Amino acid sequence: MFVASFIFRPGIIDQEFHDRNAEIGARAATIDGFLGEEAWRSPDGTLRNAVYYWATREGLEKFVRDPAHRDAKGQQAGWYEGYHVIISEVTDTYGDGRLPHVTGDARRQKLMERRRG
């Protein structure tokens, strides 16, 4: 599993930004391997983080090459006062079972399989 984390400081966030952001999210959802997305803001609101989850590196790479995504990247200077991208490979996921997440709970799944097996 892979995670693309797009951290940015907003610049001019206009209607075109919101429309493009919605389009990119909708297009990501049509790509094989897309698991879901989340968005976070820093407590003071100065930084935002759009997080996209992918089952495969190939799905993530297809998203990176998507024409709408590439076009939006060309307009980033007006929308952002800075950005940083982190691509991570997920090696484990777990929790207490009370907070469902698109990444699942690999540890709980393995434990259940051992108990059945």
Distances (CA, A) of 34 to 30, 57, 63, 96: 7, 10, 9, 24
Statement: residue 112 has pLDDT above 80:
no
What pTM did the predictor assign?
Answer: 0.82
Q: CATH for 2-91, among 3.40.640.10, 3.30.565.10, 3.30.70.100, 3.40.1450.10? A: 3.30.70.100
Return the SS3 of 19: helix
Write the pLDDT tens digit of every residue in 4-61.
Answer: 999 999 998 889 889 988 998 899 999 999 999 999 999 998 999 999 999 999 999 9
Statement: residue 103 has pLDDT above 80:
yes
Which helix (H) or strand (E) segment is 49 a member of? Answer: strand 48-54
Return the SS3 of 11: coil
Write the pLDDT tens digit of every residue in 60-72.
Answer: 999 999 988 888 8
* Confidence at residue 70, expressed as pLDDT on a 0 to 100 scale: 86
CB 94 within 8 A of CB 111: no
